Amino acid sequence: MAASDRLRQLKAFDDTKAGVKGLVDAGVDAVPPIFHHPPLDPHHHTAAASCDDDAIPVVDLQVQDDDRQEVVAQVRAAAETVGFFQVVNHGVPGDLLAETLASVRRFHEQPAEARRPYYTRDPARRVRYQSNFDLFQSPAANWRDTLFLETPALTPEEEIPPTCRAAVPEYARRVGELGARLLGLLSEALGLHAACLPGYLDDGGGGPVVGCHYYPPCPEPSLTLGTSRHSDPSFLTVLLQDDVGGLQVLIDERWVDVHPVPGALVVNVGDLLQLVSNDRFKSVEPPCGGWRRRAGRRRRPPGPMGPSPPRITVAEFLGHYKNKGLDGTSALARFRLPVGAAAADGSPSSSNA
């Protein structure tokens, strides 16, 4: 497709403000070309997925004080090798998890006229409904729509869609507490005080970003993807998945299915946590979305924890990620030092972010 034709089709799709769900509601029986992923594209991994049930660790957070070091060890092993694990007994009530999923589904499945007022690409809006944040940057669009809520606790209630007002802010609050707890365990896994990472990310007013993804039925699933291969531009992502399945993670060059565990939440290391841990924790490539813990307004830029000075800011990293889009490459690659380069300024000589 010529670039001009593709841009015209992208704009026409975006102008509907109805997302992929709008296409399905209109009765499309073929996937439009802007959503086509090449058959041999390495992103197209579904057929190669593994069913290794033991590949994704499950960590039980309901422990006594004398068992804490065992939990720290489990979290350390998962973060350093897989970069991905599920947690149970995490403190978020099961009925809240169920109502959050139901609320998100109600939003996405209501008539387009009710969704359109929230459709925007303005990053200043705390509540944003859109299809593909990188619609005009990525090589191929993904078959999904998303409702983003930035720090729901600080968002006026009238700005939040009515279908989501009861459950989503409370879900964000409870998962925010879980996120701080997980960051404490990850701090100890690095040999630091439990308050180190939570304090490092104290943003004086920021908070979790909730990404509510919806994947409508697809008439030609062999031609497109729900989400391209990617890693998350966050410190930590906590994901609530439904029982449909489809979530996969790349481990040792093979795609592994992440089977839903009743009542569990999925946790994965993000790019910025890999950066500040100086590559000890691994940011994986999961086609997913969810609660994300980002740095907020604190001026200190992220950098390797230790003697090396910070090298980039959160704004620089996120700006690069958004401009690049989900193109199948790691956003960390641009900021990685070549082997030996760090020694010139007194930093350890290694291939570090």
Residue 5 lies in a domain: no
**DSSP 8-state assignment for residue 297:** S
pLDDT reported for residue 111: 97
Task: Classify residue 124 as exposed, middle or buried by CB count within 10 Å of its CB (0-12, 13-18, 19+).
Answer: exposed
CATH code of the domain containing 97: 2.60.120.330
Residue 2 lies in a domain: no
Residue 3 lies in a domain: no
Residue 111 lies in a domain: yes
pLDDT reported for residue 17: 98
- Which residues sit opposite 255 in a β-bridge? 250
Least confident of 62-66, 120-124, 235-239: 62-66
Residue 316 and residue 248: Cα distance in Å, rounded? Answer: 28
pLDDT reported for residue 343: 39
Spatial contact of 328 and 230, defined as CB atoms under 8 Å apart: yes
Per residue in 232-268, pLDDT tens? 878 899 999 998 888 888 888 788 889 999 999 999 9
- Give whole-number Cα distances, 100 to 22, 58, 244, 272, 294, in Å: 22, 22, 15, 27, 21
Residue 282 lies in a domain: yes
- Which residues sit opposite 293 in a β-bridge? 236
3-state SS, residue 248: strand
pLDDT reported for residue 252: 81
Percent of the chain with pLDDT over 70: 74
Residue 181 and residue 89: Cα distance in Å, rounded? Answer: 13
Query: Which residues fall within 8 angstroms of residue 12, CB to CB, at 6 or more apart?
Result: none
pLDDT reported for residue 352: 29
Give the domain extent around 268: 13-345
Residue 353 lies in a domain: no
Triad 59, 172, 302: Cα angle to 5°: 75
The domain tally of the chain equals 1
Half-sphere exposure of 184 (CA within 13 A, CB side): 12
Residue 236 and residue 181: Cα distance in Å, rounded? Answer: 12
Residue 331 lies in a domain: yes
Give the amino acid at 321: Y
Segment 82-106 shows an average pLDDT of 96
Look at the chain and count its residues. Answer: 353
Residue 7 lies in a domain: no
Per residue in 142-171, pLDDT tens? 999 999 999 888 899 999 999 999 999 999
